Amino acid sequence: MERRAFDIRGLVQGVGFRPFVYGIAAEHHLNGFVLNLSGGVVIEAEGDATALDEFCRDLSRRAPLLARIDSISWECRPPRGDVDFRIAASVAGGAAGVFISPDTATCHDCLRELFDRNDRRYRFPFINCTNCGPRLTIVRGAPYDRSLTTMAGFAMCNLCLAEYEDPADRRFHAQPTCCPQCGPRLQLLNGNGTRMTGDPLSTFVAAIQAGRVGALKGLGGYHLVCDARSAGAVSELRRRKHRDEKPFAIMVKDLAAIGALCDVNPEERELLHSMRRPIVLLKRKSEAVVAEAVAPGNPHLGVMLPYTPLHHLLFEEYGDGPLVMTSGNRSDEPIAYEDEDAVRRLRGTTDLFLKHDRPIHVRCDDSVARIVTGRELPLRRSRGYAPEPIRLPLPCPRPILAVGGQLKGAFALGRGRQAFLSHHLGDLDHYEAYRAFEKDVTLYKDLFDIVPELIVHDLHPDYATTHYALRRGVPTFAVQHHHAHLASCMTDNGLNEPVIGVTFDGTGYGPDNTIWGGEFLVGDYRTYRRAASFRCVGLPGGDRAVREPWRIALSYLRDAGESDVFLDRILEASRRTVRTMLDRGINSPLTSSAGRLFDVVAVLAGVRDTVNYEGQAAIELERLATGIAEEGHYPFAIEQPTVPEGPQVVDTRPLILAVVTDVKNGVDAAVIGRRFHTTLVEIIVAVCRRLHEETGIDAVLLSGGVFLNILLTAETEERLTQDGFRAYRHSLVPPGDGGLCLGQLAIAAAVLGQ
């Protein structure tokens, strides 16, 4: 007879871990207890040594679906002669170490009950258990208990309470537990917010089938919904939402329905059907019955499967056809999530609202991902992922808050070796998004009992996050934008060594007061140097040139010695203004941006002169180039540093002149796009070879928003590997600004820990 005390750390609270322990203890005839303590689980189990060994193995190999075990340790204790195994009361002591589970898709057990006519939760839209349902979006504070969630207003009936208190039940301590007798209820409102009679779900479905636009309250906010097969309905939604061309996401009933619309490989199928249920970008089939206006001119569709009971009930009535399921907002506003605000903001956009009376406390958009070379590449990390922690390579010597950047906002709290990343918050240019940022920072600090002693921010002085950091009365630490990208990718891959960081994006403030974006860094968490960079060119109009890329194209043409008459489709008066700005240095900051170079080539090739959303020109250029056989590459030059310790410079002028020659010779835009992508791969490989010769470093990291480009990322990874490099890219956080906070946090932890 032995007694062992186990200490288990990780995501083990609020995920059914104690009843799981109770069950396997009974299987192995062990006595003792299990309880929650300081964010972990403590077990004392007594019995036969062989049974204890098997019990220990089962703790990790049979853990609940939502659990994530970081460590299991144990030590022997004197036997106490316990006569049973029990779930003991949790020990108070603050929220230190508590992990809150992400919201997760409805599990198979709950789905079976949902459609079982003999079950008391038959067709109940809010069915859940310890393995599924709302978590982050309903939390108001710590500890994670029903009284501190938005379920506090729904008193459990006797049957639900009995399940909640039964250690053998899969709803033991599932805080959102409810049923038709005691839980939330659906409500239907017309477009003005007035209550409607009749069955809410059936009436809503009938309206969608009739070509109308509806607003549906989900886990983390409202979606705008319409029939994705109806060109009229989708076009009307675009008009009302003021969203001209940016693709809409769609939701379909099941994997079979997806197979009728898109090509799906095994990795994509697994990601689609995971408990996280992100939107996954898939290649559209030519015969897919989806309105062209869903994703104009795009060979891909953003597709997701139902992830709430309400979604499953919706498709049971609607059928197998796809539904547009896009964020409930207008243009680029944050998603609406509070009922009164949703009615106010979406009035005129939607014909009716299908809502419920369970409040959403944390606004949380859908996550977006794609599969590249067999692995997940996150585009937006939010619902289903946040706030699950990511392990840091070095511990934080004190609590740290990293506030990220201005676009694709996300923040991170660091304690020990854990980084708790927030959900996606949107672009902080919007006041509502910034308010959500402030509110959710406070919530996360309370949830995880972290009081930051340092705030890390971007070097850019005008970012809203920089202003936030400097006004807190807490010590601050500024991190250069592309160094943060490098460190983010290092952390994503668990690296702690000198690396070459290829950091390509649209905008990042450089310490030399120029706009960086086509950078080759050599360094680690503590230090970096700008080893190489694209040639700097004036950006006439600053942010306006991002919306009107013909301006930057004109700048590149002049830099290469080419006349801007090549852009004679642009009014001469407009070109004259830009020429004057460049000649006099008026609002024309210098930039080395790789993102802007994509824009330039798209303009020169005739793809588009202005954009309606971020990255549109680059996305369309990639789309044209994909599937085109390799056509060789354009010339470029790599110049030695012009100042001591300065960067090597990738001279893009030969590339620009060659593109112009191709255009004048009538070369198709798709071929130009393909050659441009191949040229970027050649540039990356050539520069990395030089840096390897100088430093001996063979680890190359690909980070920054440009590496959301599948064609570029896949071919660069392949070429670097062929050349003997160890190539790394993102798989846990987005390569764009949504992953900045993780890099900021890792850098601060390393510098403080020196």
| pLDDT (tens digit per residue) in 559-618 | 999 998 889 999 999 999 999 999 999 999 999 999 999 999 999 999 999 999 889 999
Q: 């997940």: which residue's tokens?
A: 376
- Split at pLDDT 50, 70, 90, the class of 10 is confident
Q: What tens digit of pLDDT does each residue of 483-497 get?
A: 999 999 999 999 999
pLDDT for 97 equals 52
Question: Which tens digit of pLDDT belongs to each residue from 108-135?
Answer: 999 999 999 999 999 999 999 999 999 9
Res. 95: pLDDT tops 70: no
Answer yes or no: are the C-beta atoms of 699 and 495 closer than 8 Å.
Answer: yes
| Overall average pLDDT of the 494-511 stretch | 97
* pLDDT score for 101: 85
Q: What element of type H or E holds 657?
A: helix 653-664
pLDDT at position 94 over 50: no
Residues 6+ away with beta carbon under 8 Å from 480: 459, 508, 509, 510, 511, 528
For residue 445, what are the CA distances in angstroms to 14, 144, 392, 413, 590? Answer: 18, 14, 18, 8, 39
Hey, what are 174's tokens? 């599932």
Q: Which of 63, 74, 86, 78 minimizes the C-alpha distance to 12?
A: 63
Taking only the tens place, the pLDDT of each residue in 674-692 is 999 999 999 999 999 999 9
Q: How confident is the model at residue 90 (pLDDT cuts 50, 70, 90)?
A: confident
Burial class of residue 344 (count of CB atoms within 10 Å of its CB; 0-12, 13-18, 19+): exposed
The residue that leads in pLDDT, 111 or 87, is: 111
Q: What confidence category does residue 645 fall into, taking pLDDT thresholds of 50, 70 and 90?
A: confident
- Cα separation, 449 vs 438, in Å, equals 16
Structure token digits, residue 278: 């992100």
Helix (H, G, I), strand (E, B) or coil at 431: helix
- 754 or 174, which is more confident: 174
Residue 39: what pLDDT? 66
For 333-387, write each residue's pLDDT tens digit: 889 999 999 999 999 999 999 999 999 999 999 999 999 999 999 999 999 999 9
d(CA 664, CA 679): 19
What is the dihedral angle through the alpha carbons of 324, 329, 332, 338, rounded to the nearest 10 degrees? -130
pLDDT at 67 over 50: yes
**279-311: per-residue pLDDT in tens?**
999 999 999 999 999 999 899 999 999 999 999
pLDDT above 50 for 643: yes
| Nearest of 551, 485, 546 to residue 519 by alpha carbon | 485
| Residues 433-461, mean pLDDT to the nearest whole number | 94
